[in-house]
Structure 1
Amino acid sequence: MNNLVKSELFKLRKDRSFWTLVIGLVLVAALYPLLIFYDDSTADVSVKELFVYTALGGNNYIVKLVPCILAGFFISSEYSIGTMKIMGSSGNSRIRIYFAKLLVFTLGAVIISLIFPIVLTGVGAIFAGFYDMPGLGYMLRAIGLTVLYAAAFASIMALFSIIFTDSGKTIGFLILFFILFDSILYALSQKFSFIELIFNNSAFKLFVDIGEFSLTNGELFRLAIVPIITYIVLAIVGSFVFQKKEIK
């Protein structure tokens, strides 16, 4: 298992799509504050508001959409180039292969999810003279929850990546899925009470609440446990699907 993880880490470090996404996000996050501070009248911008509404708000889309591109190239493309077939015949169990790839892909998704809020807030704080900084505890909590939800969404992406086995189909489907699924689930929840219960306790619904300032212990526990359960369940489902998958 250790060698498989090392192999996947090496592939992630050499993955051009991953570094293209990382560099692109760093540039966007670093340049975005310039648009805010270009006007002299915005000199007293609150770093707290910048972090909550701009960094975390904009990151909602990044966490759910940008790693879809990485999933297509890092996982699905290995079917078309024959890498998955070689790995399947290497003597390692498919469960180990899948979990090694899932863990490293999750790491890539987490890195992608943290770039925008950290870089944008850091650059914005410098321009704002560190005016009205958010509390360290609040920032760490928001960043930690972002990591958990990025992992949860990564487990969904990994599952569909091994189902479609084609990078183009995977990327297209996942982007449409993450754009439309929560809206469809919300519409159905208005008509069916059991779907409403599922929606209100889903990672899609709770993800938008990670930036809330005042959370009770019960709310914080639910925000933390739902993505963890989501990740574990979908990781198990994904490993089962991969075991049954025909690799050509």
Structure 2
Amino acid sequence: MDNLMKAEWFKLKKDRSLWTLIIILTAVSLSYPLLIVFDDGADSIKVMDFYQNTILQGNNYVIRLVPCILAGFFISSEYSIGTMKTIAASGNSRFRLYFAKLIIYSIGAVLISLIFPVIFTGAVSVVLNFNGMPEFGYFIGTIGLTILYAIAFASMMALFATIFTDSGKAIGFMLIFFIIFDSVLYLLSSVSPIFEVIFNYSVFKLFLDIVNYDTVHSAEMVKLIAVPVITFTALGILGSILFYKKEIK
């Protein structure tokens, strides 16, 4: 397993799509705060408010959409170019192969998910002269939850990337799915108690509660932490079973 993860980590570090996405998000994180300089009311803006209302809210779309592109190139493309067939024929267990790729891909998704909370927040803090900084405990708590939800969404993306073995089809499907699925699930929850429970315990809904980290009760905090962990584990197992039974051409 260790050698498999080292091999996947080497491929991730060399993946051009990952570095392209990181560069683009970093450029946005560093350039957007410059617009605040030209805002006459910039002196009254607090970093905490900007962090909650802009960075964490905007990161919702980053976590759900941007890693889809990485999944298409890092996972799906290996099926279409024949790399996965060679790896599967290496003699290693397919379960180990899948989880090695899932874990390393999840690390890539986490790196993407932390650009806004870390780099964007840092740039905004400098521009706003560190006015009204978020408390350290709140910042670390939201970072930790962001990581958990990033790997939960990554497990979904890895599953879809395994189903669609063409990078273009995989990216297209995942972008549409993650754009509309939470809205569809919300509409279904309003007409069915079953879907209401599913929605309330889904990572799509709970991820939006990260911003309220400092006000949630202990029971809610357990749910915020447990749901992404369970989601990652369950979808990881499901994906490995799918990969085990999949005919790789």
TM over 0.5: yes
Offset at 1:215?
1.1
Q: Work out the CA distance in 2 between the residues paired with 1:62 and 1:180.
A: 15
Q: Work out the CA distance in 2 between the residues paired with 1:4 and 1:29.
A: 34
Please tell me whether the aligned partners of residues 36 and 127 of structure 2 are also in contact (alpha carbons under 8 angstroms): no
Q: Work out the CA distance in 2 between the residues paired with 1:43 and 1:33.
A: 13
What amino acid does structure 1 have at the position aligned with 2:195? I
Q: Deviations over 1:38-80 (max 9, x none)?
A: 2243123201011111110110100000000000000000011
Q: Work out the CA distance in 2 between the residues paired with 1:215 and 1:8.
A: 38
1:53 aligns with 2:53: yes
Q: Deviations over 1:177-202 (max 9, x none)?
A: 00111111111111111110111111
Residue in structure 2 matched with residue 226 of structure 1 by the alignment: 227
Q: How many residues align?
A: 248
Q: Work out the CA distance in 2 between the residues paired with 1:37 and 1:99.
A: 46
Q: How does 1:156-195 map to 2 (within 5 A)?
A: 156-195=156-195
Q: Which secondary structure state, in structure 2, belongs to the residue aligned with residue 6 of structure 1?
A: helix
1:26 aligns with 2:40: no
Q: Work out the CA distance in 2 between the residues paired with 1:144 and 1:37.
A: 30
Q: Work out the CA distance in 2 between the residues paired with 1:17 and 1:47.
A: 31
Residue in structure 2 matched with residue 245 of structure 1 by the alignment: 246
How much identity, in percent, do the aligned residues show? Answer: 57
1:95 aligns with 2:84: no
1:80 aligns with 2:103: no
Offset at 1:37?
2.3
Please tell me whether the aligned partners of residues 201 and 226 of structure 1 are also in contact (alpha carbons under 8 angstroms): yes
Q: Which secondary structure state, in structure 2, belongs to the residue aligned with residue 131 of structure 1?
A: coil
Residue in structure 2 matched with residue 154 of structure 1 by the alignment: 154
Give the CA RMSD over aligned residues. Answer: 0.8
Offset at 1:100?
0.3
Q: Work out the CA distance in 2 between the residues paired with 1:58 and 1:226.
A: 21
Q: Work out the CA distance in 1 between the residues paired with 2:141 and 2:216.
A: 11
Please tell me whether the aligned partners of residues 37 and 43 of structure 1 are also in contact (alpha carbons under 8 angstroms): no
Instruction: State the TM-score, normalized to the length of structure 2.
Output: 0.98
Q: How does 1:87-166 map to 2 (within 5 A)?
A: 87-166=87-166
Q: Work out the CA distance in 1 between the residues paired with 2:70 and 2:38.
A: 33
Offset at 1:136?
0.3
What amino acid does structure 1 have at the position aligned with 2:41? S
Instruction: State the TM-score, normalized to the length of structure 1.
Output: 0.98
Q: Work out the CA distance in 2 between the residues paired with 1:168 and 1:177.
A: 14
Offset at 1:127?
1.2
Offset at 1:245?
0.5
Q: Work out the CA distance in 2 between the residues paired with 1:190 and 1:57.
A: 24
Residue in structure 2 matched with residue 70 of structure 1 by the alignment: 70
Offset at 1:116?
1.1
What amino acid does structure 2 have at the position aligned with 1:161? A
Stretch moving more, 123-132 or 104-113: 123-132
Q: Work out the CA distance in 1 between the residues paired with 2:104 and 2:210.
A: 24
Q: Which secondary structure state, in structure 1, belongs to the residue aligned with residue 41 of structure 2?
A: helix
Q: Work out the CA distance in 2 between the residues paired with 1:33 and 1:44.
A: 15
Please tell me whether the aligned partners of residues 47 and 124 of structure 2 are also in contact (alpha carbons under 8 angstroms): yes
In structure 2, stretches of 5+ residues that fail to align are none
Q: Work out the CA distance in 1 between the residues paired with 2:43 and 2:176.
A: 39
Please tell me whether the aligned partners of residues 55 and 116 of structure 2 are also in contact (alpha carbons under 8 angstroms): yes
